[in-house]
């Protein structure tokens, strides 16, 4: 977190408005199930510098998170939004600006009736990404989703994005399916950044 982030973009090749859709738990921060306490948020060390580099290269950064704790009655929307804002402020303090935070409050087995629904926004459905793309004018075919389980991959592929799986050991079922094949498997977000640097003319120096 204390690492200096002196990134500079030599030539950005992101011509259209592309986004990186970011899963939150297990991707940006340590996965503490149903945590909404800002004090328990632990950002992975590589995340701020990678996000800074990606936004410097022209990508919009949009967090997309399932928050079924709302449907289960563990906490309310306000608590989730407070935690989301806390995360975005922590990232900003570390030099990384996120452009949006989207979450699904539903779960089919929820006990809060208003949110007990089989919805289109709970990943692996693509609704959150589609909404974020509409609101930010995103070209989905130029965009990526990154997440730590195959439901993130499926949501991204269904939305027409490419998908990177950050394999931190959190995917345990590996259910197959035509939407569940990642385009890239990496150990952390650094791996996605390096891939994008190689695949395009995006040159970002000083990350490490
Ligand atoms: Mg996750
Ligand atoms: Zn939903």
Per-residue pLDDT tens for 21-40?
A: 999 999 999 999 999 999 99
Point out the ligand nearest to the CA of residue 103: 2
What is residue 199's predicted lDDT score, i.e. its pLDDT? 83
Domain count, the chain: 1
Rounded to the nearest 5 degrees, what angle is found at the Cα of 36, between the Cα atoms of 107 and 62? 75
Phi–psi pair at 73, nearest 5 degrees: 85, 15
pLDDT digits (tens, 9 = 90+) for 56-73: 999 999 999 999 999 999
Average pLDDT over the chain reads: 91
Residue 25 lies inside a defined structural domain of this protein: yes
pTM, 2 dp: 0.89
Does position 107 have pLDDT exceeding 90, yes or no?
A: yes
Residue 166 lies inside a defined structural domain of this protein: yes
Point out the ligand nearest to the CA of residue 116: 2
Residue 1 lies inside a defined structural domain of this protein: no
Residue bearing tokens 């090749």: 13
What is residue 16's predicted lDDT score, i.e. its pLDDT? 74
Question: Residue 134: which CATH number?
Answer: 3.40.50.1000
Residue 23 lies inside a defined structural domain of this protein: yes
198 C-alpha to center of ligand 1: Å?
A: 26
What is residue 201's predicted lDDT score, i.e. its pLDDT? 57
Residue 30 lies inside a defined structural domain of this protein: yes
147 C-alpha to center of ligand 1: Å?
A: 6
CA distance 127 to 145: 13
Point out the ligand nearest to the CA of residue 31: 1
Residue 2 lies inside a defined structural domain of this protein: no
10 C-alpha to center of ligand 1: Å?
A: 32
Asked if 124 and 176 touch (Cβ cutoff 8 Å), the reply is no
90 C-alpha to center of ligand 2: Å?
A: 26
Residue 149 lies inside a defined structural domain of this protein: yes
Residue 3 lies inside a defined structural domain of this protein: no
- Helix (H) or strand (E) holding 165, with range, is strand 162-166
User: What's the domain range around 82?
Assistant: 8-205
Most confident of the following: 3-7, 11-15, 78-82: 78-82
206 C-alpha to center of ligand 2: Å?
A: 39
What is residue 15's predicted lDDT score, i.e. its pLDDT? 53
């Amino acid at each position: 977190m204390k690492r200096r982030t002196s990134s500079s973009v030599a030539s950005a090749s992101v011509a259209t408005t592309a986004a990186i859709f970011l899963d939150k738990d297990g991707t940006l921060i340590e996965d503490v199930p149903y945590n909404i306490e800002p004090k328990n948020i632990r950002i992975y060390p590589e995340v701020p510098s990678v996000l800074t580099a990606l936004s410097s290269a022209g990508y919009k950064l949009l967090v997309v998170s399932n928050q079924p704790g709302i449907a289960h009655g563990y906490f309310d929307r306000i608590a989730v939004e407070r935690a989301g804002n806390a995360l975005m402020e922590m990232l900003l303090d570390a030099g990384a600006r996120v452009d949006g935070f989207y979450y699904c409050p539903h779960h089919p087995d929820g006990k809060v009736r208003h949110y007990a629904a089989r919805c289109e926004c709970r990943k692996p459905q693509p609704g959150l990404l589609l909404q974020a793309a509409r609101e930010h004018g995103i070209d989905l075919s130029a965009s990526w989703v990154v997440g730590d389980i195959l439901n993130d991959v499926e949501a991204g592929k269904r939305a027409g994005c490419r998908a990177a799986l950050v394999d931190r050991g959190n995917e345990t079922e590996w259910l197959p399916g035509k939407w569940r094949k990642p385009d890239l498997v990496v150990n952390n977000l650094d791996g996605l950044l390096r891939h994008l640097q190689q695949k395009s003319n995006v040159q970002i120096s000083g990350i490490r």
